[in-house]
Structure 1
Amino acid sequence: MNVRLCITVLFGLLASISVSAQETVVASNVLGPEGPLVVDGKLYFVAWESNQLVRMDDGKQTVINGDSKCSQNGLALTKRNTFLLACDSEPGAIIETDLQGKELRRWTADADGKPMAGGVNDIVVTSNDGAYATLTGPGGDQPPVVGKVLYLAPGAKQWRVVADFLNHANGIAVSPDQQTLYVAETFGNTVKKFKINEDGSLGDRANFVFLNLLVDDAVKSMALGPDSMKVDHAGNLYVAQWKGGKVLKISPNGQLLHVFKVTAGDGTTNVAFDEGEKNIYVTVVNDTRDKKYPGSVVRLPND
């Protein structure tokens, strides 16, 4: 091997070590990792395959909710200091728990009495303590385009449908000014945006970004589109790319700002910020071909 080649290989190894050194595994052996959230300095996440809501305590995983009928997926914190937990089982449900995981309330149908068919995927809470949730719709190789968005108005008792005909409705997020709702359409490879009206209804539906126009991926799959996502204080969207092994940071005007490559696996599912947004926590499945979906939660500096 010549000197120039040796130097090239050496720099390549150093680069790979640098990337790995920035990624810290904070929770491992998680079956179906999703829904990360940092509350009062503690990390919470869910495991949809083992039906668990987990809190990290001094580096150890403590199961605080173990509902076998839920298939826990999205997780959001209300202004009342309770959790809204998305159940991705069939039919789906939304559970409200206290911070210790004790169930306080459960919704299994919308305001029209229709079951939450296809499972509830993700939830976001608004500044006035309303909430939006996504109904994924049935899966499969050629799923029908029947995904929905539900809305729970502040103080309301029932969730109502405010958007429909979404192609596998997944992650959901609200802009800091509370004017825009983002919805990940996984099998459409796009993030949709809606104008939020004063009564919580949605209008001006539009395509915000198509992921295939932002990044090139060797993998070809309908499920390569966006998974769950979060918005930072500046309005930037952090989108986890299932089967892509990365998180995309996208500006409010749809420009790609940064790509966080995750080495722990190809099934990135969701993102959370720590205090001050200095780091991001990413839930990731090791190998999306493994149907037990073993994975982990990793921490990355928020560059």
Structure 2
Amino acid sequence: MNKWLAGFVLAATFATGAFAAPPGATVVADGLGFPEGTILANKVLYFVDYQASTVNKLDESSHAVLKKLPGCGANGLVVVGGNLWVACYDSGVIERISADGSRLGSIDHSRDGGSFHHPNDLVANRRGDVYFTASGDLPGSGKVFFVPKSGDIAQEVASGINNANGIALSPDEKTLYVGESGADRVLDYQIGGDGTLHSAHTFAQLDSLAPPPSVGRHTPDGIRVGPDGSIYIALFNGGGSWILNSKGALVKTLDVPGEHHSNLAISNDGRVIYVTSISGSSGRIYRLSPLPN
């Protein structure tokens, strides 16, 4: 999510199927304010609505608001040990809730006592360690934090990022990808054995990758990695979603209706993708299946 949303609050409702979708796409959630944080777990789609600050779940038979978190500004989600961690963009904390919505506690400061400025997105490795971005409140003040499975203490592992946003791990969990929305690029870091980050590198400068006739900014928001190592990027600016290969080359563009696209989720086999879409004060989630070749 981008910073201009921090003070933008509108009422939102949750429904399904009210908008027409392009060929190959289906609207699965509609009437939202600002959908974000899409993740798939055991065939359940979890997501947040930033405007309503709710955590939602959607499966094949039902949809529900799992938890409302007033003042949080719910933005990013990740499943850790069967529980959900929520990045609270407005209140500056990481909330933890159970699968039934019960609150389990929160993390509100780093090891050195510092606060989190606009926590944005999260990712967990197979061991249960968590990385999350904090977008920052000034250009260049974005950071990445690491929370080991063994404790609740967040350690700063990267800084100097211009609006730190989406975050994802490579399949071998040796590389961390971070969206730098203020610079329209994706960074990558090598991960040390202790979880720390090294060798910051520009993985992809998105504006320079844009195919004609696309012009203007191409701003990364949510980032996911597919089972084959491809990097999927929801574009807040620039339309829809892009797929890059592991070398950072653009291999596919996915057109999705809407002015802005904040996040996405990918099935385990890589054949289904869910993409959030926002136009004005209206948000929805599209399901694309199967993905075009």
Shorter chain as normaliser: what TM range?
0.7 to 0.9
Q: Secondary structure at the match of 1:187?
A: helix
C-alpha deviation, 1:277, in angstroms: 2.4
For 1:5, the equivalent position in structure 2 comes to: none
C-alpha deviation, 1:154, in angstroms: 2.0
Q: Secondary structure at the match of 1:70?
A: coil
Contact 1:41 1:275 in 2 (8 A): no
Contact 2:56 2:65 in 1 (8 A): yes
Q: Secondary structure at the match of 2:100?
A: coil
Contact 1:219 1:243 in 2 (8 A): no
For 2:4, the equivalent position in structure 1 comes to: none
Contact 2:207 2:216 in 1 (8 A): no
* 1:72-113 CA distance string (max 9 Å, x none): 1111111x1111111111x41111111122211201111111
For 1:239, the equivalent position in structure 2 comes to: 233
C-alpha deviation, 1:219, in angstroms: 5.7
Pairs within 5 Å for 1:263-302: 263=257, 265-286=258-279, 290=280, 293-301=281-289, 302=291
For 2:47, the equivalent position in structure 1 comes to: 45
Match 2:216 to one of 210, 220, 233: 220
* 1:23-75 CA distance string (max 9 Å, x none): 11000011110111122212111000111001125565311110112111111
Larger Rg: 1
For 1:76, the equivalent position in structure 2 comes to: 78
Would you tell me which structure has more helix in proportion to its own residues? Answer: 1
For 1:35, the equivalent position in structure 2 comes to: 37
Q: Which amino acid aligns with 1:30?
A: L
Match 1:163 to one of 153, 158, 177: 158
Pairs within 5 Å for 1:103-142: 103-117=103-117, 119-138=118-137
- Return the alpha-carbon distance in structure 1 between the equivalents of residues 270 and 229 of structure 2: 12
For 1:85, the equivalent position in structure 2 comes to: 86
C-alpha deviation, 1:218, in angstroms: 5.1
- Return the alpha-carbon distance in structure 2 between the equivalents of residues 22 and 61 of structure 1: 22
Contact 1:26 1:59 in 2 (8 A): no
- Return the alpha-carbon distance in structure 1 between the equivalents of residues 172 and 142 of structure 2: 26
* 1:198-246 CA distance string (max 9 Å, x none): 000000000000111111575635xx41101100111110001002221
For 1:197, the equivalent position in structure 2 comes to: 192
Match 2:145 to one of 138, 143, 150: 150
- Computed over aligned residues only, the root mean square deviation of the Cα atoms, in angstroms, reads 1.6
Aligned length: 270
- The TM-score normalised by the length of structure 1 is 0.85
For 2:16, the equivalent position in structure 1 comes to: none
1:177 and 2:183 are equivalent in the alignment:
no
- Structure 1 runs of 4+ with >3 Å offset: 57-61, 216-221
- The TM-score normalised by the length of structure 2 is 0.88
- Return the alpha-carbon distance in structure 2 between the equivalents of residues 219 and 92 of structure 1: 34
For 2:12, the equivalent position in structure 1 comes to: none
